[in-house]
Amino acid sequence: MKGRNRPLVVTHKDAKTLMTNPSQSNLAVVILAAGAGTRMRSQTPKMLHEVAGRTMLEHALHAACGTHPDHVVVVTGHCRQQVQATIDSVNQRLVDDYGVAGIQTVVQKEQNGTGDAVATALAAPALRDFRGTIIVTTSDVPLIDAATLTSLVAEHTTRPQAAVTILTTTVDNPTGYGRIVRTHDGEVTKIVEEKDADTAIKSINEINSGVYAFDAELLGAAVNQLDTNNAQGEFYLTDVVGIARDLNKLVRAHRIDDAAIVSGVNDRVQLAAMNKEFNRRLREHHMRAGVTMVDPDSVFIDVDVHIEQDVVIAPNCQLRGNTTIATGCVIGPDTTLTNVTVDNDAAVIRTTATDSTIGARAQVGPYTYLRPGTKLAADGKLGGFVETKNATIGQGTKVPHLTYVGDATIGEHSNIGASSVFVNYDGVNKHHTTIGSHVRTGSDTMFIAPVTVGDGAYSGAGTVIKHDVPPGALVVSAGKQRIIEDWVKNNRPGTPAAEAAAACDATGTPPPATE
């Protein structure tokens, strides 16, 4: 591969110092993430489309780091700034969760094939003098997990150790995949890409997943022998198999039965199918762990969601992000929770909640909207058509219906009357309202922030609270009721209202009492 541009190497700012001396380690992972993914018809790079709440690249990173390698190198190219930003956003979590040294990226300046991409990776400081096993995987196979990669390495390193081990599977329709060509006694001889395959080879249904384990020294030598003498005019990584065979090196195939694990995503149809399959597996995992799903097909769960035993999930629920649900909870129907923590035995019905906390035995819903910053304590209640935002609501406090609570702190065992509004915005700034414990407010109370209502205070219905209320006080602001007799008769003659009033007078129905 003479004449290749020297790769641009980008080391993550939070990564540990990567060794440039001959490595004493024995496992590294290269993730190929340079392609344009044009079939997605998207301005977003293919590997940054999400499956089950993570980008496909993030799935690849978690799988790679789950093998506990000494180095992880991602090859970027198309839209590399976006790809780098995604890596930066998850790097520290990967370091913390898996103990890896951080993710290093290299840039493939021209997309000249998978062989060129791997050659770019091998020039990274972490791999320049590496000796051991290198896994090469892709960023568009989201069901690949650490267990699959670990089993590949185990097969590769079984004595006698192979020079190349290919992760393969068999499918009914192998169109589009490279085919695994074997001898009559089953030895792998080469991989033939779809565009280079003749009719006989196209009939083979054992396919190349695009995931490999290589001996590092063999890989380094082989990529320098690659050429572009093929239908696509690219450097094929698959040609390393033939080179290894020519050198009388051992080539193995690690075939897995579950073909979905190595299914790639190239367009929106495949993306939808992958989301469906990934979600099916997640639901099955949770149900086998003790979660009840009344209608599993209507439930969508992200991969980072945690659900404890004896949770019941009703139909039409979405559990997104880092949502955590403790034992004994009932969720749904018709509920979407994103980054929400729900403590034990709570009930959340027909609710949309984001970045919020719901306490033990709390009741939320129906038709309730919890916006970011909501913290509902144990035994609390947020009822029908209640909206909250940046609100801390104390233990046992109830906001039963038709209320907006924004930028507020409410103490324990208080009750906010129906149709109340925490008026927090003056057109320029947001202001805070503080309500004490054991407070009872009447329906249609307006809290004009900033304002404080002391412990044990009461308010009358329709009160507009503009000033602080001391503990134990009753606050009312409504004026004396005034009745104007015959107003409709005099001002709206001939209307249905006037006719109804006249009919009432004719039957002798007494007028309402006046003060």
Binding site for UDP-N-acetyl-alpha-D-glucosamine: which residues? Answer: 32-35, 46, 108, 113-114, 178, 193, 208, 266, 371, 389, 404, 415
Strands 54-55 and 50-51: antiparallel
3 state SS of 223: helix
From 136, 134, 156, 379, select the one nearest 249 (Cα to Cα).
156
Q: DSSP secondary structure string, 389-412?
A: EEEEE-TT-EEEES-EEEEEEE-S
C-alpha 176/C-alpha 265 separation (Å) is 12
Reported in sequence order, the residue ranges of 42-186 that DSSP labels E, i.e. its strands, are 50-51, 54-55, 71-76, 103-107, 133-138, 164-170, 179-182
Extract the annotated binding site for Mg(2+). Answer: 140, 266
Q: Which helix (H) or strand (E) holds 148?
A: helix 146-157
Query: CA-to-CA distance for 110 and 112, rounded, in angstroms?
Result: 6
For residue 333, the SS3 value is coil
- Say whether 401 is catalytic: yes
- The one catalytic residue in 62, 254, 401, 438 is 401
Return the DSSP state at 43. Answer: S
Rg of the chain, C-alpha, whole Å: 32
Residue 262 in contact with residue 169, Cβ under 8 Å?
Answer: yes
Integer Cα distance of 318 and 334 in angstroms: 8
Q: What burial class does residue 111 get, using C-beta atoms within 10 Å of its C-beta: 0-12 exposed, 13-18 middle, 19+ buried?
A: middle
Task: Count other Cβ atoms within 10 Å, centred on residue 467.
Answer: 9
* Binding residue positions: 32-35, 46, 108, 113-114, 140, 178, 193, 208, 266, 371, 389, 404, 415, 418, 424-425, 443, 461
User: Which residues is 357 bridged to in the sheet?
Assistant: 341, 375
Pairwise CA distance, residues 347 & 311, whole Å? 10
**Which two tokens mark 226?**
């690659």
Q: How far apart are CA 430 and CA 468, in angstroms?
A: 17
Instruction: Show the tokens assigned to 129.
Output: 């003098």
Residue numbers annotated as active site = 401
